[in-house]
C-alpha cells in the first residue's frame, strides 16, 4: 500500500466506457492519456471523440509521469469534515510531459504551499485507495 494523503471518506471517482482503460492503468500505477489514432492528438480527460478531427479511434499512450505546474490553488477550507486536519492542501493543473498539451488536475503533496510555483517540475506519486483503485497525485520533481 502506498502513502495516504487523503481520508477514506473522500468521494470516489466513477469509471465509464470512455475512462475505464485509464482507471485500469492507474490501478497498475501507470499514467496514460488517450491518443487519437487518426490525427495523433492526445487528450485528458478521455472522451469518445477526438476534439480535433472527430475520429472515435483511439489508444492509450503511456507517459513518464512527469510534468510542470500550469496553475494551482491552495485550499484552506475543508469541504468535508475529515479534511479539516489536512488543510491547507494544493490542487494543481499539470502540463504532462509527452502529452502534447494535455493537462491533468490533481493534488500536489509533500510540499508547503509557499514553495509551489507555476512552472515547477513535478512527478507522479500514486495513492492506493483500495485494491483496484489508485489515484495519481504529484510531488515536486527534480529541477530541470
- The model's pLDDT over 41-51, given as tens digits with 9 standing for 90+, comes to 999 999 999 99
Task: Determine the straight-line distance between the first and last CA of the chain, rounded to whole angstroms.
Answer: 30
How far is Cα 127 from Cα 136, in angstroms, rounded to an integer?
A: 6
Task: Give the three cell numbers for residue 15.
Answer: 469509471
Global pTM value: 0.90
Residue 25 DSSP symbol: H
| Domains of the chain by start residue, with CATH | 20-140 (2.40.50.840)
pLDDT for 6 equals 77
How far is Cα 97 from Cα 144, in angstroms, rounded to an integer?
A: 12
> Using one digit for the tens of pLDDT, what is the confidence trace for 88-131?
999 999 999 999 889 999 999 999 999 999 999 999 999 998 88
34 against 86, higher pLDDT: 34
Amino acid at each position: 500500500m502506498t502513502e495516504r494523503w487523503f481520508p477514506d471518506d473522500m468521494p470516489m471517482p466513477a469509471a465509464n466506457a470512455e475512462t475505464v482503460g485509464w482507471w485500469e492503468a492507474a490501478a497498475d500505477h501507470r499514467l496514460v492519456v488517450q491518443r487519437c489514432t487518426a490525427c495523433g492528438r492526445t487528450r485528458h480527460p478521455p472522451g469518445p471523440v477526438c476534439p480535433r478531427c472527430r475520429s472515435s479511434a483511439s489508444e492509450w499512450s503511456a507517459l513518464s509521469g512527469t510534468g510542470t505546474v500550469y496553475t494551482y490553488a491552495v485550499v484552506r477550507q475543508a469541504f468535508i469534515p475529515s479534511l479539516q486536519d489536512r488543510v491547507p492542501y494544493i490542487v494543481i493543473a499539470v502540463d504532462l510531459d509527452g502529452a502534447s498539451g494535455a493537462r491533468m488536475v490533481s493534488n500536489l503533496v509533500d510540499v508547503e504551499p509557499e514553495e509551489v510555483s507555476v512552472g515547477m517540475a513535478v512527478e507522479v506519486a500514486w495513492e492506493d485507495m483500495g485494491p483496484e483503485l489508485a489515484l495519481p497525485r504529484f510531488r515536486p520533481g527534480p529541477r530541470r
